[in-house]
Structure 1
Amino acid sequence: MKRFIAAFVLILLFLAIGFSQSAAPDSVDSEIQLRTYLAKDAVPLNKEVVYYVELSWQGELNRYHILDISDPVLTNLKLRGSGSANRFYLDKNKHPHSVKKITFYFTPLEMGMAYIDGITIKYEDTATNQTGRLISERLPVKILEPVDQPGKGLDLGKILIIGLVLLFLFVVLFSIARYFQKTKDAAQPQEENLTPEETALKELRENIQLSRDLPEKKFEKLQQLFNSYLKERFGLPSGSEFHEIKIILEANGIGDGLIQKLKDFFERGELVKFAGEPVSESELHIFLDTVELILNEMNKRNISGQQA
């Protein structure tokens, strides 16, 4: 009887060890964190549902590369567009922190409950060259009766009075702004020039990442921005062969991983242009990250070269 019990305990022990190994994640544990949340848990039928996906980690922006973002599975909602932004800061102990925030905009289809099922994000840890996955939870949102739009019910007289008041305020504010701008220009006749990388990064963040355009339009803008940067920075005309671009980037210390992602970006552009293929939200965010990381790396080397 004792031998039977001992053998049974050993079998349970082996099963427990095997289960723990099979249940382990497919990537090394890391400090990257995923948070998803809604701007509002209840939204009128004629308003938008705003859904945030936030990735954060300790370290530089290029510590993690986003390899794939699955499109959200929706119930009673329709995807209208998305935008993304990156943020870098130092905490009180001077430790670097990075945040990537993706915003999705959904249109409700009918009143009742709506759901956003979990999305899967695949990433690569550039410090260890290992990959991992993060999966978000399902979020519910209640779709309420539509609300009246602002300004509905105003008569023509009220609209005219409001328009005149607004025009007067605009003239006054414009005059004040012009005065202060002239004063500022006189006090600071010459401002520090931005590097080509800083100019491209500013346009990327203000005119593409925060834009509510469709993915295909954002992709087109991203192509134009990067081609303009290559022409200004290195004299490469639009339509240059990728191997020419690769040689320049390698000479400036850009790693093979980013160069391969950039090659995927250019090849995807050919398919979109000549075959009319659509661009998914997940592809767009990966390409946005790739261009931003390359511009940041090039800017660091440019500034270091000027200081040397």
Structure 2
Amino acid sequence: MISSSMASSFKNISMKYNVIAENLKRAPKPKNVTFRGKAKKDPMEIYQDGIGSRLPQAYFKWNRIGYEPSPVHWIDKGVDWEKDPVTGDRKRVNRVPIDIHYPPESRMGLWGGEGWIAGYRKSKGDRGVRLKKTWKPRIANRNLYSEILDKKFEIQTTNRVMDLIDEAYGFDFYILQTPAEDLNSLVGMVLKRHLLLRLANPQDMYPDDPQRRDKICNKYKRFVIPKEEAEWVGLTPAEAFAKQRQIEAGADPIRPLQELYTDELIAKYKEHKEKSDGLFTFSKEEEEKAKPFLQRFFGSGSKSKDDGTSV
């Protein structure tokens, strides 16, 4: 039997719930409800104008900016629908990717696409309280040998990378044939650039052993590209912008206006003297003596900066 006190408490609770329900009915409801997540920044935004829009196609071809990496922590069947093997009905495939966090340490090693996964676990096996947990791959320092560069490198790698190197039949093959989005490593892309540059200039490879050099060149001949293209592989945006500025400055150097006006005035003065006296010749020594006077005339306070612009 329920006592009178318990019955009165249940009655009060039910009355409170009824009041809350009535207030919710009278409350104004929004017409459109939208859920906005955190918008992802477009990686190609910095290349749409300015110096980024003038970068060569070789930079985008090898760095593959904006490409999604191959799934590592989940299986993507590549289709949205499939046939049920038991009933034969058409069912939808769950293609929800796992959110992976790539820490800065992954860029300084070879993780093979693995990263940190944030999730939850139970405190007592399959039961208990749900607790936060982050799964991290196991990292170890390993010595990897490159036969193209003839050097050993100590790099932090995962067990998956070692399996991928075995599947590719060598460390150099793994670095050369793996796309940039799957490498996801600054160290890996720098190694790829050095490997391609060495293949583009085979004279620097094994100078004391020409037979081994010919053997390695024949082994990796399908990866040979021009040196001008290999120089853009693995460059960061800041390095690519600096390289493009240097190329443009060398093709069209900017001279200070003081030098241009000085040369122009000397040419006009020389032309005037030749017209007035046909026997007069303006030697180089006289030109050098006249320049300081003309510079003082225009003002000696303007100096050129390192970037070629005048102040």
- Sort the TM-score into its range (normalised by shorter chain): under 0.3
Report which of the two has the higher share of strand: 1
The structure with more radius of gyration: 2
Q: Which has the higher contact order (CA 8 A, sep 6+)?
A: 1
Q: TM-score, normalised by structure 2?
A: 0.18
